Amino acid sequence: MRKALDFRRTCGIMSLRVSEFRNLGVSQMLLRVRKNAQITLPARVRKTIRLEDGDLLDCEIEDGKIVLTPKKLVDKRDAWFWSPEWQKAEAEAQKDIESGNVEEFESVDDLLGSLKGE
């Protein structure tokens, strides 16, 4: 039990190893904390949230519960794309595409002419 408490306090990096678990229902499972505070996320959980070997998990304590959230690292050169402003513009562009609010041009000159109002 001491190792389990240490794990909850530190939220260290976990290694995944085969362990026993008992299915308690659709969204709840009982996991066993192993040597070195290791746990195994059942295959059904990993598949449901599309976890792959090497993925990162953010660990937080909320109301006495361990909450693991999958995270992806984004290269700094690509961070602009994931900014709230850019994602808002992407969502607006996607709505335009889905509603058919787009124009097609035969050439770059036609596109530029349309932008200039010609």
**pLDDT of 114 higher than 60:** yes
Same domain? For 13 and 64 the reply is yes
Q: Which domain holds residue 45?
A: 2-71
Same domain, 81 and 34: no
In a shared domain, residues 59 and 111: no
Mean predicted lDDT score pLDDT of the chain: 79
Query: CATH number of the domain that 7 lies in?
Result: 2.10.260.10
Task: Return the structure tokens found at 69.
Answer: 């959230």
Give the residue with greater pLDDT, 118 vs 101: 101
* List of residues 6+ apart from 99 with CB closer than 8 A: none
Q: pTM of the entire structure? A: 0.47
Which pLDDT tens digit goes with each residue over 58-107?
999 999 888 989 998 889 999 999 899 999 999 999 999 999 999 999 99
Among 39, 31, 29, residue whose Cα is nearest residue 7? 39
* Same-domain pairing of 59 and 89: no
| Token pair listed for 102 | 């787009």
Does one domain contain both 56 and 108? Answer: no
Number of domains in the chain: 2
